[in-house]
Amino acid sequence: MNPVKYLSLGVALLFAVCVQAETRSGLNGMVASRSALAAQIGSKILQQGGNAVDSAVATAFALAVVYPSAGNLGGGGFMMIAMADGRVMAQDNREKAPAAASRDMFLDAKGNVDRNLAVNSLQASGVPGTVAGLLDALTRYGTMTRQQVLAPAIELASKGFPLNDDLAGQFAENLEGFRAHPASLAKFTHDGMPYKAGDVWVQRDLADTLQRIADQGRDGFYKGKVAEQIVKEMQGNNGLITLKDLEQYQPVWREPVHGTYHGYDIWSMPPPSSGGVLLVQMLNMLEPYNLGKLGYGSTAAMHLMIEAQRRAYADRAEYLGDPDFVKVPAATMVSREYAKQRFSDFDPDHATDSTKVGAGKWPEESLQTTHFSVVDKNGNAVAITTTLNRSYGNRIVVPGAGFLMNNEMDDFSSKPNTPNSYGLIGRDANDIQPGKRMLSSMTPTIITRDGKLVMVTGSPGGSTIINTVLEVVVNVLDYGMSADKAVSSPRFHHQWMPDNVRYETGAISAEVAAELAKMGHKGLSGSGFGIGDANTIVRKDGVLEGVSDPRNVGGVAGY
């Protein structure tokens, strides 16, 4: 059998896929993604007999081709897998600090954080984990070969595909950043001129890299020619990643964060993601108050949720980091007892001043990412959130290899109490150390009830990710919304510091905003910006409803 021929999707068919955000229903399988092309590839894998893991791996590699601002080979992320037999697994393929990294590496002579160095340089790149993570998941839980799941991505990269307005616009917006790097300019422009919608975009270098991965497995990326290309670029531009860093990288399988909420089981990512811990912590704070009875969008419900967000994000800054390097009190933080204590000073009539909210205490014991969701006919589910950190990472393409490098090192706390690109404050738990994984907000989440799948969700959005997932979950479980309405409803965000409430147009009415302001909530700021991109699947009465978030161009494919 020729796997390439076996899974050839027909480029013409893919180009006909609707590129608008959409909702679809299906009985046998569903993929909800930021890219219609990637979703169609994932669905095709399901139709050809693959399970949810096969589909997720194929979708992820396709996103490296068709959604390069966040889909990637040079980044990392987190994966939740829930099998129909009740097993739930969490995989950490987060990037790691190179061996040559040091705590103060981004501080200038005056001790201040050099933002350009922390974001736009190759020193900002952590050791990539995406490829190792995807291949390991495929080997453990998939049913298809590497060649089969990689074939669609290789075809799209080698033959090309017509750019839509979304991608052509992204390339144009980032053009000045690409100009400083010849390989980036060559990849994202047509001989230095901006691409236009309808132009066919061919990525031969990326196709060659993907083919090496298909042929050689992880050695096709972490050793040999591709590894040498990465290191050559590092050595020529003060980067830190070495051949040894690449060869030694391994994904880690971790115990999922687990909580319950109104009888539903919540499964989400453990540290070094802060997502699962904060999600369960906030749900524990909210559960006694019956949000459904308070009413969607009411002043009481908004006040309650903002106060839960405020406290959870304060704990994030103090306690969360890579559990392989620091003691993370995750079990305590997701306990109902701790939530009760943490929320004991909640005042239903007044906002709390964030400057007076520190991290919780207990006795000593003796902005660019992408998320997609997959469900197969047997009820197996995968939630993957993957990223280069900021949109297009550091905008540096590895010459000859065709992919962008991440700038995840900025997710460390470069200096205590100094905000990163997303305004998040961190402390010693998330300081830079060689081999350490940087703290994340990614929150791929799977919800079950009585062992049966209910929901798969997650989102990009930097510091807003956790609250996006919280609000989608609450919309479904508390307010009884359909998947479409739960994802489409406007969102709000509070992250402790800075002490302000950001919200999308329509999330908070003028009347409620005025009442919240009287209660002491600060910086209420509504605008047309979007929060999150929660590509979600909900299973109800045996039917899968997949939603691509209408805030962005995306796609859903099911059958």
Residues belonging to the active site: 369
**Contact in structure between 496 and 327 (CB atoms under 8 Å):** no
Contacts (Cβ under 8 Å, ≥6 apart) of 386: 60, 63, 70, 71, 72, 75, 76, 77, 78, 130, 369, 370, 371
**Contact in structure between 502 and 530 (CB atoms under 8 Å):** no
- Separation of alpha carbons 150 and 210, rounded Å: 7
**Contact in structure between 466 and 480 (CB atoms under 8 Å):** no
Could you tell me which residues are beta bridge partners of residue 343?
Answer: none
Burial of 441 (0-12, 13-18, 19+ CB in 10 A): buried
What letter does residue 355 receive in the DSSP assignment? Answer: G
- Start-to-end CA distance of the chain, whole Å, equals 25
**Contact in structure between 115 and 24 (CB atoms under 8 Å):** no
**Contact in structure between 94 and 129 (CB atoms under 8 Å):** yes
Dihedral sign of CA atoms 92, 98, 101, 106 in order: negative
Dihedral sign of CA atoms 57, 63, 68, 70 in order: negative
CB atoms closer than 10 angstroms to residue 557: 29
What letter does residue 496 receive in the DSSP assignment? Answer: S
- Separation of alpha carbons 193 and 196, rounded Å: 9
Rounding to the nearest 10 degrees, give the CA dihedral for residues 317, 319, 325, 329: -150
In terms of phi and psi (left: phi > 0; alpha: psi -120 to 50; beta: otherwise), the region of 480 is left
Q: Which DSSP helix (H) or strand (E) runs through 161? A: strand 161-162
**Contact in structure between 545 and 23 (CB atoms under 8 Å):** yes
Question: Of 382, 436, 377, 427, which Cα lies nearest the Cα of 408?
Answer: 436
Distances (CA, A) of 531 to 207, 468, 488, 547: 33, 7, 11, 16
